[in-house]
Structure formats: C-alpha cells, structure tokens
Structure 1
Amino acid sequence: MKKIVRFRELFRFATHRDWFYMFLGTIGSIGHGASIPLLWFMFGLMTDSFTEYEFNLISNDSKNLSQIFYSQSIPSTTNDYRQQNKICNRSKMNLTSLEDIQFSNKIQHYSIYITLIGFGAFACAYIQTYFWTMSGERQTHRIRYRAFQSLVCNKNIFYFDRHSPGELTTLVSDGIRTVNDGIGEKFGSCIQYLSCFTAGLLIGFARGHELTGVILSLLPLFTISVTLYSKFGAQMVSKQQETYTQAGQLAE
C-alpha cells in the first residue's frame, strides 16, 4: 500500500528563500486571478456606456421629431419624416454637446482603466510564473539529490537484485516530475483560479446578487463533477506511472 503524503510534507525541503519566492508567487497569483473578472467588469461598463449613449441619441431624435411635427404643424408624410430625420441625425456627428463630451470622457476613462488592469495582469502573471517555477525547481533539485542518496547509498545489494535500474530511474524521474508540477507552476495556477472565482463572486454579489444567487445554485453539481474528475484523474496518473515504470524496465 502506497503511503499518502500530506500537503505540508510536500514543502519540507523548502528553504527560507523558497518560502519567500512562494510568497511573491502567491501575491502574483492572487493579482492575476482577480484582474480577470475586474477586466470583464470594466469592459461591461464600457459596453453599457455605448448602449446608453445610442439610446439617448434615439430618444432625443424622436423627441425633436415630435416637437417639429406637432409644434410647426408639418404634414406627417413619409418624405417629410425622412427629411426631418436626416436633420436630427446630423447631431450625431457633432461632438460639441455636453452629453457627447461626457460620453467621450467616460470612454477615455474606461480605456485607461482597462489598459492599466491589462498591464497589472501581465506583471502579476510574470511574477506568478517566475517565482513559482523557481521555487519548484529549487525544491525538486533537493528532492532529486535526496532520492539519489536514498537509492544508491542507503540500499543494500539485494534491493538492486529485485529492482532493475530502468525501473528505479523511471520511477524516480516520473515521481519528481509529478511533485514539481504539484509544488510549482500548477500550484500557482490553482491559487489564481481560486482568486478569480472569489473576485468574480464578490463583483457578482455587488452588482447583481439575484442573478449570482441563481448561478450559485449550480455550484453543488460543479463540485461533484470536479471531485469525480480529480478522483479518476488520480487513478489514471497512478496507472500511467506504473506503465511507464514497466516500460523503462523493459527498455533497460
């Protein structure tokens, strides 16, 4: 029966520098994850501004047409309506009104915010990838050295009679690579996704708690599917590692 390694034991080879790298990587992961729903939120506000501005233009044109036809007693024929509508639509090309200036300033502000969030997301993604990768590589280097000492220096000759060199090499290589994925970049990605989910949930409750509550009703189904996927995925990885070990033994 294989021994299950606890989560804290995965980082027992980490030094103070590694913990500092993981701290910086965690900050980058949180910032990277939170920037994604914030970016879509600002983009949604910009889209709403375009829709609201166009709606106001149509409302003003309809109001102007009504005033022209009813106040000046103009016959409401099709040709007269089209002619007066063209006159009213010319105001769309004139950006001197107060409403047009406010709309232009609002779009400029949203564009600046989206650009700044994009630069911040890029910086956080770089910090996340760099420091988590560095921390994982440094720790797996020590794990590889300890594994070599344990297999070569602390085992008797009968152990190597029962296990072929190819089997041991493949087992150690695949195991260390799996550990590197678990404590390196993929661990930072896990924090990023949790941060993205939390930030999106907070923004959703702040802007529309009714719709957010309806969406959260599907969370149990999502949790069950993720649990089943993780369980079967772990089983497949274990079988894959055993198959690679046997293949390495035959190749040797």
Structure 2
Amino acid sequence: MSSNVEEDQKKNNEKEEDHQKKTQRVPFFKLFSFADSLDWLLMAIGSIGACVHGASVPVFFIFFGKLVDVIGVAYLFPASVSHKVAKYSLDFVYLSVVILFSSWTEVACWMYTGERQAAKMRLAYLRSMLNQDISLFDTESSTGDVITAITSDIIVVQDAISEKVWDSY
C-alpha cells in the first residue's frame, strides 16, 4: 500500500515539475533578443509616439478648460468671445493632427518591429528544428506538428511585442 502512495507522490511531483518547466517566465528584455539596430530604432520612435499620444490627454483638458473659461465670461465681453473660441478651436485641430500622427507612429513602429522580430524567430525556430536528429521526426513529430508549433508559439510572442508592449504605454 505504501508503495502505491509513494508512486503516486512521485508522479505528482513529476507533473508539478513538468508544469513548472512549461510555465517558466521569460525576462522582459529577453523578449527582444532577436531585435537588431533597426528594431531598436523603431521601438524608440514608437515609444516616443506613445508618450506624445499619452501626453495629449492632459493638453486636451488644458485647452478645454481655457475654452470653458472663455465661454463662461461671454456675457461680459461678447465681442471678444468669437475670436477666442476660434483660436481654441484651431488649437483643437492642431492637437488632433498631433494625436493622429503620434498614434499612427506608435502603432506602425511597434507592429513593424514585431513582424520583423517574429520573422527572425520563425527562421531560428525552423533552423533549430531542422538540426534535430531525424529520429525525432520519425517518432515524435510530423511536419504538421512542427509547422503548428512554430506558428502558434511565434504568434504569441509577436502579439506580446506588437500589441502588449506599446499598449502598456
């Protein structure tokens, strides 16, 4: 009876170790191990775009507060209100253009660098798989398994680089 309990405990310990190996976390900067200088430049430009895009919300509220102040005193100086409202409306247009280009830069740069790094990862993954002993493909893997593994694993990493990182800004 005790041998069955010991065997069950060993199996449970092995399952826990396998689960820990599968769910091992990767350090943040290891995510960018396939990045070259162009990728780092794209990530820097995308991050600057994200910062400008994020800073636009407080600037919007500053402009909006000034516009409300002008409208609030409209009954005292009705002649000058039209000119000031037109000025702040133009400021809103300028801010909208800045938001458009900064958000486009943010998304485009991060998506492009994610695609580039994912392509490099796919190539390295395929090279690694093709360097395996042929017996691996005879018993454990088929062509479809290799392609599925490459595709599913790289999609997760590409999603992390292309969307999750810049979305955190």
State yes or no: 1:34 paired with 2:55.
yes
Matches within 5 A, 1:127-138: 127-138=105-116
Code of the aligned partner of 1:190: S
Q: Deviations over 1:67-120 (max 9, x none)?
A: xxxxxxxxxxxxxxxxxxxxxxxxxxxxxxxx1232222212211211111000
Code of the aligned partner of 1:117: L
Matched residues in 2 for 1:164 and 1:48: separation?
Answer: 70
What SS does structure 1 have at the residue aligned with 2:74? helix
Aligned residue among 74, 86, 105 for 2:83: 105
State yes or no: 1:9 paired with 2:68.
no
What SS does structure 1 have at the residue aligned with 2:79? helix
Q: Deviations over 1:120-171 (max 9, x none)?
A: 0111012112211111111111101000001112x11232212333333222
TM-score by length of 1: 0.54
Matches within 5 A, 1:45-194: 45-54=66-75, 56=76, 99-153=77-131, 155-160=132-137, 161-191=139-169
Matched residues in 1 for 2:123 and 2:115: separation?
Answer: 12
Aligned residue among 46, 61, 71 for 1:25: 46
Instruction: Quote the sequence identity (%).
Output: 29
> What RMSD, in angstroms, separates the aligned Cα atoms of the two structures?
1.8
Code of the aligned partner of 1:37: P
Matched residues in 2 for 1:180 and 1:186: separation?
Answer: 9
Code of the aligned partner of 1:157: I
Moved over 3 A (4+): none
Select the structure with the greater relative contact order (CA < 8 A; seq sep ≥ 6).
Answer: 1
Equivalent pair of 1:42/1:114 in contact (CA under 8 Å): yes
What SS does structure 1 have at the residue aligned with 2:168? helix
Say which one has the larger Rg: 1
Matched residues in 1 for 2:165 and 2:79: separation?
Answer: 47
Matched residues in 2 for 1:171 and 1:38: separation?
Answer: 46
Equivalent pair of 1:46/1:107 in contact (CA under 8 Å): yes
Code of the aligned partner of 1:5: V
Code of the aligned partner of 2:25: I
Aligned length in residues: 147
Cα distance, 1:48 vs. partner? 4.2
